[in-house]
Copies of this chain bind each other. A is one copy, B any other.
């Protein structure tokens, strides 16, 4: 009996639960040293399997071998971290053999990390590592206990004399509080920039920005009235605006503008990445807005808006940049190649972290 079970598991790999449905163990993705990548998927029944990935201009067909393993090897990919998925007879799926999932509420994609010949700024390097803590805070605004991820830098001592500045870092519209670490590698970017002396050691707070079905404006209240007090009660951090930054991507980039520019007494650093601003809250805050530019420019030590020229929001972002500049605010646009992607997100973060708290 034991021998039979043992053999069965050797055949199936060492997986157990739900094993009746389990395909053979195959390796996918295989990233080759020359940056080509092989993707594999097992199905005896599928009629068509294609690979979709943000490193591809268009989906590519996978081909089936006699054992039912579909595969494709793509030519050398520019080193980065990319989302991808398979379409199996037009059903979109994450790669079953890849542990790493794009943290998201509305789709399930996998991620593949193509390392550079030299370590990239977002890669795990041999430097001192900070840690990410998964915490719960009571949100009086939203009437529930909510998640928040908190990065503390290497050498962080919760009871030491060193006080840290804080970056509040917000994900995109259907992302989660884990997307900035699981996909955006914010913790490794911070580890590496701190090790290089390019960024100041800081605490990075990654909240869950989606408050559906409540109005998005409630997230501004949640951050200001619930998250900041929780962080300041539990971490040795500076409590003045010059040691507080807010940044975010896409919907989170819009939230960043709403949160930062309506609270310039609280945030001296406002970095918005490819902001999505077609929201009621943004219209309410910034239509017919008449800021005291002189005062705000004194309060804001840094105000950036980043966007890629291939971003489908490039035009509206440019319009918003022009709008803020017409109000005489000291806004630094950061225009780079690339689209509305998490590859660009990592770049935006790596470009702005060194400018914070200087």
Contact = CB atoms under 8 A, between A and B. Distances in A.
Given A5-B278, A94-B108, A250 B17 contact: yes
Given A89-B91, A132-B133, A16 B276 contact: yes
A232 to B, nearest CB: 17
A99 interface: yes
Contact of A159 (B9, B103, B159): B159
B108 A5 contact: no
A99 B105 contact: yes
A22 B3 CA distance: 47
A13 B173 CA distance: 9
Interface in A107-134: 107-109, 124, 126, 129, 131-134
A71 interface: no
A251 B124 contact: no
A346 interface: no
Nearest to A95: B108
A198 interface: no
A85 to B, nearest CB: 8
B93 A97 contact: no
A97 to B, nearest CB: 6
A248 interface: no
A82 B176 CA distance: 21
A245 to B, nearest CB: 22
Nearest to A150: B131
Interface of A is mostly: loop
Contacts of A341: 17
A316 interface: yes
A101 B99 contact: no
Interface string A29-54: 00000000000000101100000100
A114 to B, nearest CB: 18
A99 B15 contact: no
Interface of A: 1-3, 5-6, 9, 13-18, 21-22, 25, 43, 45-46, 52, 83, 88-94, 96-97, 99, 101, 103-109, 124, 126, 129, 131-136, 145, 157-159, 172-174, 176, 181, 187, 210, 212, 250-251, 276, 278-279, 313, 315-316, 319, 340-342
Contacts of A17: 83, 172, 250, 340-342
Contacts of A93: 91, 93-94, 108
A99 B104 contact: yes
29 contacts: A1-B315, A1-B316, A2-B316, A3-B278, A5-B316, A14-B173, A14-B212, A14-B251, A14-B276, A15-B107, A15-B173, A16-B174, A16-B313, A17-B83, A18-B107, A18-B109, A21-B107, A45-B90, A89-B89, A91-B91, A93-B93, A99-B104, A108-B108, A124-B145, A131-B134, A131-B135, A132-B133, A134-B134, A157-B159
